[in-house]
Structure 1
Amino acid sequence: MSVRLQGVAAAPGLALGRAALWHPRAGHGPEAPGDGAAPGDPEQAMARYREAARHVRAELESLQQVVAGRAGTEAAAILGAQALMAEDPELAAEVERLLRHGTPLARAVREAGEAMAALLDALQDPYLRQRAADVRDVTGRIAAALAGGEEAPPAPYEDTVLIAPEIPPSAVARLDVGRVRAIVTAGGGATSHAALLAKGLGIPAVMGCSGVLEAATEGDAVAVDGDAGSVLVRPEPAEEEAFRRRVARAAEEAAGLARLRDLPAVTAYGRKVMLAANLARAAEARAALEAGAEGVGLFRTEFLFLDRPDLPGEEEQFAEYRAVAEAMAPRPVVIRTLDIGGDKFLPALPLPREENPFLGWRGIRLWLDREDLAVPQIRALLRAARHGEVHILLPMVADVSEVRRARALIERVRAGLGEAAGPYKLGIMVEVPAAALAADRLAAEAEFFSIGTNDLVQYTLAADRGNPKVAALSDPLHPAVLRLIDMTVRAAHARGIPVAVCGDAAGDPRVIPALVALGVDELSMPPAAIPAAKRQVRSLTEADVQAAIRGL
């Protein structure tokens, strides 16, 4: 008899295969020799710990390179951060302290990791809370290395559906993607790093699926719907056949979308809309081009700065910006200057505690105050502009004076570079209501606008989209938000400058008709969303877009 279960949709896609149950023992295997109850020599134990940590770091760095080629560098950066974590001095100090109190080595590693993870679990910031799972993953790998090695996730069948209590990010990275069709876990969630890696690798995943370990036995047929978060264990013949038909239809739809790649995004009534990609790394440009992107509408530079103990220098930034500019040439690449503060923090740049960081020292405010951050980035951007069409985007602008200060700084740096600097266009993000309300004045200072709907919605409606109690209020189709977008577009077009939308709303099929109706020139979104958005834009009629803003 079939068993239908509901979990959390963590990575999209449909898969039908056979269950392989996995109870990972990483960090929970038998103690390695000398790690029993009797305390050993702390110095010898620490030497063994450092050797195991070096081994784990090397493994993770190797995995990082493999995943970068398969899933892109944003997903691979998770493993890079874990590699650094393996030799974290604070972790090592806590392990040594426990050893000197008589704790056996493998247990000391686990206890030190759990103590560090518990501190992160207690923080409000969701990004930092996610690091707790990474700490447990890394210290589990170190403990497993001490015990003789980590067990690899199984893939016993050509169509394996891996079922586990939870799955750490490093285990996802080690999956045999040729044999593992889907992942189902009893715990975990859609925002975990394991989920992000599964998405990058194209493996459908359902997490938080309570009861799956009890319902499934080894070798059972399992149908996984990563879009809806549902799992069907031992489907009846009719259920299995119906699911196979869904898989076939999905494959046909994907092939149909792929055929749109080189066609323009022009509505049924003749209006052209540019579709661009949001990227975090130059290595993702290939996926953007394969999806049919006409440029990069948002390149997030903060990913160069995250998850590392130091700040990237000018040369490292230049190499990344040049790579994306060359990969996309002659298409435009909009590169946003460093946008930290609020919900984004840098390990290498401790920021003062603020009562309300979303209304504090963030975005362009911080960047203009810290020329040690701004100048190397500007130099790298202007040098990269000789290798493609580079546009510079300023985040969190609220006042004309900020744009003027930024342009003066850029021009000063440009004068110093001389012929090494390429041409550029300067744009501003419209993320706060003040920018939309003063769009006519700001349009006189910029060459383009880019509307960041995530923050614009949040600030307009005073609703944090990450807070489940008020998330329902965070609606980009709220009349107040649409009116601010309308004001922005009208002011920009009066000055002859284009307007893009680069927030989540740009790829949302519910919102796209309204954005087209309001005259937005460009929609920028994750590469995977471009084909469906192009199909939708090409099907829009004049009646469709008029209906989307009726009553505004």
Structure 2
Amino acid sequence: MLTLTREDVRLGCRAADWRAALAQAAEELVRAGRVSAEYGEGLLAREAQSSTYLGNGIAIPHGTPESRCYVRSTGVRVLQFPEGVKWHDGSQVNLLVTIAAQSDEHLDILRQLTRVLDREGVAETLARATNPEDVLATLTHLPVSAKLDAETLCLGVPARDHLELAMAAASRLRHAGCVESSFVAAIAGQQPLPLGQGLWLVFAATGVKTPALALATPEKRFQDAAGDVVGVFCLAAHGDAHRVLLERLDGMLARGDGNTLDGLPAEQILSRLAGESARAETARVRLLNPHGLHARPARELVLVARQQTAQVYVRLLEGSGEAVSASSLTRILGLGARRGQTLVFSAEGEGAAQAVAAMVEAVRGGLGEPVTPLDERREREREEVTARVVETAPVVPPVADEPMTAVPAAPGVAIAPAYVLRLPEFRYAERAEDAARERERLGRALVGAQQQLEALVQRTVGGEVSKILSIHAEMLQDPDLRDAAHESIGEGASAEAGWWRAIDTAARAQESLADRLLAERAADLRDVGRRVLGLLCGVEMPTPPEQPYVLVADDVGPSDVARLDTAKVRGLVTARGGATSHSAILARALGIAAVAGAGERVLALTSGVELIVDGELGRVVAAPSPVRRQRTEKRIEEQEARQRAAHGRRHEEARTLDGHRVEVAANLGNTAHAADAVERGAEAIGLLRTEFVFMGHPQLPDLETQIAEYREAFDALGGRPLVARTLDVGGDKPLPYWPVGQEDNPFLGLRGIRLTLTRPEVLETQLRALLMAAGTRPLRIMFPMVKDIEEFRAGKAIFDRVQAEVKAADVQLGVMIEVPSCALLAPTLAKEADFFSIGTNDLTQYTLAIDRGHPQLSAQSDAIHPAVLRLIQLTVEAAHAEGRWVGVCGELGSDPQAVPVLVGLGVDELSVSSRRVPLVKARIRELSLAQAREMAALALRQPTSAAVREALEAF
């Protein structure tokens, strides 16, 4: 972008008329070597087209596109005329900002200048300036822009009082980068102020980076002790820059529109705050002018606005600013509207409908410029002209009978035809003329989708799939979705565009709550949306085959895996993802053979091609030869026989061939599954994820509620030990009633023991409930996300105080080894902790610095990496030196290749999914301790996880 310097400014100029002023400006550009003499004619030609006067005494002369050939280098010259020059349109000009531009840089200068034009006294300041610095300061000192847009709205929060909404709004500002953590802390100590109409306000100036206004609304308006609650505004104050936000809020309240915010989508809330009342006539139109709303088309728009009997306002749909007067040129230019953006016109009173219609028609007509329809694909290409064009070769499908390497994600071997999941492409017109017809089309599609879902629910009675599809059916009946779609249709959108806009808006609102469970609900919304869109567009949604198949996809989320019909799905292959992704974890729980990170080539497969999926070795083979197929079928038969044998001995201890015992326990996410774990042969519960108790309640569960939940597990275990992890939530999986400020990297933030120590009364209640539920039965409690002895001691102090009162008979207190620092400091921790349990999922991502959900890197996040194994070795050695036991509760304990290595490293307990208990026991019985130690030493000598797996396979 062009910038202004001291050398660009000339003070005290005089001219008899505007032509003489332009001549001086041209001479300055020639003298600076920016242009040749002919450029002066270009300046005159541009004024003949339309005036370049902006307002407040400023004109911005520049040449025509044809005169760009006379520009030698881009530059600016600013000429001050203290006595003023009468411009050809009758305006008084005190400052010429004359531009020589080789392309369209003058548009950036224009947008920058329009932001200072409305400042009071700017014309006088520029006319009286006595040094270049004062001119530059006035022109370039831009006002701080206050933020109020969809990113600062937090809608549909599952809150029950206005204090929770205040914290949600403050956290949203933190997430948007407007404030720091100190701002959120300042808000936490406030009582919201009543604004009336069910609205409340909290504000602070501490830790503000950008002035902003957030709004948090509840799922449904409610009344608490303070009164009626429609929403809570949170203001980040900064000097005087936030005043415009308060004015907009005050204007909305003065119109009585506060009560109308209840249940409105983000777009309509922003329109109310922008100055559009609920009674206003509004209309939208896409701007098609090649260079957006620059001076010439803006002037044409202003002339149309001034001809209307009603006052017309305009705002940018994509912006966050208020609606400005369409009769003000400087205000129009200040919008900075670009080609492809949407202008929203509004007016009230007599003639309002005709006024907004006239504005829309003027914009569609081009405002005096030739316009062309918007080709969005071409526009994106135009915006990326600086990007390098890279020719990508077409993806080549896998070669027949050639094994492809992938990441083992879920044990098992399967043979079945491939079903390659590809989402269909929907093509539809954005606009439609007949709103009534479009609403009717949407209504038919909604009915059709409802019938489809009801039929699917009947076919899947009683399972998890049935529950999810029932939720989808409920979403179709949501009146808010239908009303939002109807509103868009009323504004000229097609049924398809209106419906998808409603779906996308609702899904984005769900995702913005930063809650993993709610994020999955957003995915469900889009699934529902695509089903209806398919009916509208006449596009059939992909339907899995009736016969058994291997699902091949780019990647799948947990909700996608949960929908799989395990009676038909024999295996799962993903192009992306890794062994510790949540979809892989769920695939293991469902007993589906799976590999991840197989690469894009698998997506080039044709559905129906036979696939072999080896979830133990991480192999995929397309179109296997008869010999390989027979060999694999024999292996599957042997595996099934092994499973039957393992199941028959599931209640026996797991001992190596030379008598070394390893306890095999089960991981549980719900106490209701404890009895099933015992039936499958679990010798203990090695990991109870207690957050299920907290996530299953709308508020913090009290002591009695928790005791009842934990007691269910103890009763089912029949005296077997229970290892409970204290509450492990935080930035990556927050509780709706315990809002946590948005963090740039929640995995490295306030979670686990760090979070519960901020509210010790919550931790104390949980510890008390566990101890009281246990009574005389064996209980092992462990703290998650401990980084060093200090955090353990802080938790232990609370534990000791509660245990002194309850006096549980058989209890131990331990640490989860998930953070590398904890493994490295295991010698100090082992002196005070009773046991260690290694969470290999988190330990792997922290050790390898790879987010297990990362689309490109997660395939490399393999817990059998030698660096992770080395940390496990250090942990076991430190624990055994102090007489402590060590368990592994991460997914590595289920990996058939890893089991011998973990036994060889000296791990005392393996806690795995209930399904895997019999097979893990059987694997241990096949080993000798000496053999396991040899395999562990072999693994530790390897440089990479791939090398570890190759070496173990060869062994």
Query: So what's the TM-score if we normalise by structure 2?
Result: 0.45
Q: Calculate the aligned-residue CA RMSD, in Å.
A: 5.5
Equivalent position amino acid for 1:502 in 2: C
Question: CA shift at 1:278, angstroms?
Answer: 1.9
Map 1:13-162 → 2, pairs under 5 A: 13-17=412-416, 38-40=434-436, 66-67=462-463, 95=485, 98=488, 101-104=491-494, 107-114=497-504, 133-141=523-531, 153-157=543-547, 159=548
Q: In structure 2, which of residues 714, 719, 740 is the aligned counterpart of residue 330 of structure 1?
A: 719
Map 1:399-548 → 2, pairs under 5 A: 399-400=788-789, 402-410=791-799, 424-432=811-819, 435-436=822-823, 439=826, 442-443=829-830, 445-456=832-843, 461=847, 463-464=849-850, 466=852, 468=857, 471=861, 475-476=866-867, 479=870, 482-491=873-882, 493=883, 497-508=884-895, 512-513=899-900, 515-517=902-904, 519-547=906-934, 548=936
Q: In structure 2, which of residues 601, 606, 610 is the aligned counterpart of residue 222 of structure 1?
A: 610
What is the rounded CA distance, in whole Å, between the counterparts of 2:775 and 2:581 in structure 1? 39
Residues 480/273 of structure 1: CA separation in 2 closer, same or farther (3 Å cut): closer
What is the rounded CA distance, in whole Å, between the counterparts of 1:166 and 1:399 in structure 2? 36
Residues 122/401 of structure 1: CA separation in 2 closer, same or farther (3 Å cut): closer
CA contact (8 A) 1:386 1:422 kept: yes
What is the rounded CA distance, in whole Å, between the counterparts of 1:389 and 1:88 in structure 2? 48
**1:292 and 2:681 aligned:** yes
Equivalence for 2:396: none
What is the rounded CA distance, in whole Å, between the counterparts of 1:197 and 1:536 in structure 2? 22
Residues 111/397 of structure 1: CA separation in 2 closer, same or farther (3 Å cut): same
Q: SS in structure 2 opposite 1:66?
A: coil
CA contact (8 A) 2:654 2:661 kept: yes
Question: CA shift at 1:332, angstroms?
Answer: 0.9
Runs of 5+ in structure 2 lacking a partner?
Answer: 1-398, 942-955
What is the rounded CA distance, in whole Å, between the counterparts of 2:920 and 2:869 in structure 1? 21
Equivalence for 1:252: 641
Q: SS in structure 1 opposite 2:622?
A: strand
Relative contact order (alpha carbons < 8 A, sep ≥ 6): 1 or 2 greater?
Answer: 1
What is the rounded CA distance, in whole Å, between the counterparts of 2:908 and 2:668 in structure 1? 19
1:384-435, Cα deviation, whole Å (9 max, x unpaired) = 324954332212334555445434534656788x79x886433222444554
What is the rounded CA distance, in whole Å, between the counterparts of 1:84 and 1:310 in structure 2? 24
Which is further off, 220-229 or 83-92? 83-92
Equivalent position amino acid for 1:301 in 2: T
Equivalence for 2:52: none
What is the rounded CA distance, in whole Å, between the counterparts of 1:83 and 1:370 in structure 2? 39
What is the rounded CA distance, in whole Å, between the counterparts of 2:723 and 2:572 in structure 1? 38
Q: SS in structure 1 opposite 2:757?
A: helix
Question: CA shift at 1:543, angstroms?
Answer: 3.2
Equivalent position amino acid for 1:250 in 2: Q
Residues 310/116 of structure 1: CA separation in 2 closer, same or farther (3 Å cut): farther
1:339-372, Cα deviation, whole Å (9 max, x unpaired) = 1236444444332244554454322121122246
Residues 232/509 of structure 1: CA separation in 2 closer, same or farther (3 Å cut): closer
CA contact (8 A) 1:489 1:518 kept: no
CA contact (8 A) 1:56 1:145 kept: no
Question: CA shift at 1:295, angstroms?
Answer: 0.5
Residues 488/150 of structure 1: CA separation in 2 closer, same or farther (3 Å cut): farther
1:70-105, Cα deviation, whole Å (9 max, x unpaired) = 9xxxxx998899899889999789657645644355
What is the rounded CA distance, in whole Å, between the counterparts of 1:440 and 1:514 in structure 2? 22
Percent identical pairs in the alignment equals: 36
What is the rounded CA distance, in whole Å, between the counterparts of 2:479 and 2:605 in structure 1? 43
Equivalent position amino acid for 2:880 in 1: V
Question: CA shift at 1:334, angstroms?
Answer: 0.7
Which is further off, 142-151 or 293-302? 142-151
Q: SS in structure 2 opposite 1:499?
A: strand
Equivalence for 1:363: 752
**1:182 and 2:581 aligned:** no
CA contact (8 A) 1:185 1:209 kept: no
What is the rounded CA distance, in whole Å, between the counterparts of 2:798 and 2:477 in structure 1? 39
Equivalent position amino acid for 2:924 in 1: V
Question: CA shift at 1:226, angstroms?
Answer: 4.8
Equivalence for 2:591: 202
CA contact (8 A) 1:267 1:537 kept: yes
Count the aligned residue pairs.
530
Equivalent position amino acid for 1:499 in 2: V
Query: So what's the TM-score if we normalise by structure 1?
Result: 0.71
**1:382 and 2:755 aligned:** no
Q: In structure 1, which of residues 232, 247, 265 is the aligned counterpart of residue 622 of structure 2?
A: 232
Question: CA shift at 1:538, angstroms?
Answer: 3.0
CA contact (8 A) 2:555 2:577 kept: no
CA contact (8 A) 1:57 1:86 kept: no
CA contact (8 A) 1:437 1:488 kept: no
Equivalent position amino acid for 2:889 in 1: C
Residues 112/407 of structure 1: CA separation in 2 closer, same or farther (3 Å cut): same
Question: CA shift at 1:300, angstroms?
Answer: 1.4
Equivalence for 1:341: 730
CA contact (8 A) 2:680 2:917 kept: yes
CA contact (8 A) 2:900 2:932 kept: yes
CA contact (8 A) 1:155 1:162 kept: no
CA contact (8 A) 2:830 2:878 kept: no
Bigger Rg, structure 1 or 2: 2
Question: CA shift at 1:509, angstroms?
Answer: 5.2
Equivalent position amino acid for 1:39 in 2: A
Question: CA shift at 1:515, angstroms?
Answer: 4.4
Question: CA shift at 1:373, angstroms?
Answer: 3.5
What is the rounded CA distance, in whole Å, between the counterparts of 2:845 and 2:693 in structure 1? 26
Question: CA shift at 1:436, angstroms?
Answer: 5.0
Question: CA shift at 1:114, angstroms?
Answer: 4.0
CA contact (8 A) 2:667 2:914 kept: yes
